[in-house]
Amino acid sequence: MAIRRMTDNVAVISSLPDTPQPPAYNAAILKSKFDEAANKIKTYINDTLIPDMEEAAVTGCTAVRKLLMSYTAAGTYTFNTEAHPSVGGVYDVILIGGGGGGSTASTSAAGLSTGGGSGAVTKVFSAQLYGTYSVAVGAAGTSSVNSGTSGGTSYIMKSDYTYTKTAAGGGASSQMSRIGKSGGIGGEDSVYLDGTYGCGRGGDNEYGRGVRGGLISDDVQPAQGYGAGGWGSFAPTGGAVYIYGYEVV
């Protein structure tokens, strides 16, 4: 069976006039308005959600997690729960910030290159979401001579600003700061081994693998996945946002 969803409007207080006046709004009526949304949710849980879940358990139904939306290009999007329903209004959200850029010395010597940080990863499980949300995917930073730029922040935010979750972009490196760490895991500077400069890397997170440095361009392995840090003049990758929901089967 399908679990019925709550469709009542709970934006009760915001619909009140700016200056409620009697007789339309006396003290008793205003008190009831402040309780109205909570009572609607209580009624839905007790009279609809719990009975439906109990019946689903008896009939052997299970809730299965599924990917509803994946945003992998830098930019801003709109997510509406009515267009993408989930059992009980429960969602899981994974946010990945954009990777930070690396930098090289003005001589472009590989041995003097530094790595940008990875984008942070924020995981939100069993979030109660309803209505419309703005979703942003953080752009990749840029790798450059002397100083890179940081990756962009990814976020999901309620249109009325009552709910916000973020994942910061990775920090950029420069020939002064050497390794960019903010947002996620920092990249690595090149190291000096046996008289020859070794190779650093961009920062990694669990969804992205930063640039692996090399003494010549042919030895460099580019950044992979999402939110991976750059190294030297080689580019990082942008962030991503994944939204999962549940359905009864």
Determine the Cα–Cα distance for residues 73 and 76; give it in Å rounded to an integer.
Answer: 9
Burial of 86 (0-12, 13-18, 19+ CB in 10 A): buried
Determine the Cα–Cα distance for residues 52 and 178; give it in Å rounded to an integer.
Answer: 57
pLDDT of residue 198: 62
Q: Residue 87 in 3-state DSSP?
A: helix
Determine the Cα–Cα distance for residues 235 and 132; give it in Å rounded to an integer.
Answer: 34
pLDDT of residue 191: 63
How many other C-beta atoms can be found within 10 angstroms of the C-beta atom of residue 101? 36
DSSP 114: B
pLDDT, mean of each 10-residue run, the chain (249 residues): 75 85 84 88 87 70 87 98 91 97 73 88 94 97 91 94 94 80 81 60 94 84 96 94 90
Name the residue with tokens 């993408």: 84
How many other C-beta atoms can be found within 10 angstroms of the C-beta atom of residue 100? 41
pLDDT of residue 171: 94
pTM over 0.85: no
Contact indicator for 172, 147 with CB cutoff of 8 Å: yes
User: Can you name the residues that pair with 93 across neighbouring β-strands?
Assistant: 124, 243
pLDDT of residue 109: 60
Write the secondary structure of 29-56 as one string of H (helix), E (strand) and C (coil): HHHHHHHHHHHHHHHHHHHHHHHHHHHH
pLDDT of residue 142: 96
pLDDT of residue 236: 97
